[in-house]
Amino acid sequence: MTTTAQTRTATISATRSRTLIAASMAAFLGVFMIWGVGFSHIAAAHNAAHDVRHSNGFPCH
C-alpha cells in the first residue's frame, strides 16, 4: 500500500468514526426526548404529554 493510499484510508476511517460518534450522540438525544415525552413516569410529564402519548400509541395509564 502506498503512503498516499494509507493516508486516504486513515482519513476515511477518521471521518467514519467522527460520523459514528456524532450519530450516537444524536440517537442518544433523540431517545432521551422520546422517553421524556412518551415513557417518563413523572406525573407532570405524563399529564403534559397525555394526548400525544395516546395519539402515538405509547403505553399509557
Partner 1 sequence: MQMFRRLFIAAASAGLLSGLFVTLIHQVTTVPVILEAEVFEKAAEAPVPAADAATPAASTEAAHDHDHAAEDHTHGGDEWEPQDGFERTAYTVLADLLTGVGFALLLIAVFAVSGRAVDWRQGVYWGLAGFAIFILAPGLGLPPEVPGTAAADLTARQVWWVATALLTAGGLALLFYVKEPKPLWIVVALALIVAPQAIGAPQPAEYSSAAPEALAHRFIVATMIAQLLFWAVLGALSGYFYKRFVHEPAA
Binding site for partner 1 (CB under 8 A): 16, 18-27, 29-34, 36-39, 41, 43-44, 47-61
Q: How far is the CB of 41 from partner 1 (least distance, A)?
A: 7
Q: Which residue has the cell 417518563?
A: 40
DSSP 61: -
Q: How far is the CB of 11 from partner 1 (least distance, A)?
A: 14
Amino acid residing at 33: M
Q: How far is the CB of 40 from partner 1 (least distance, A)?
A: 10
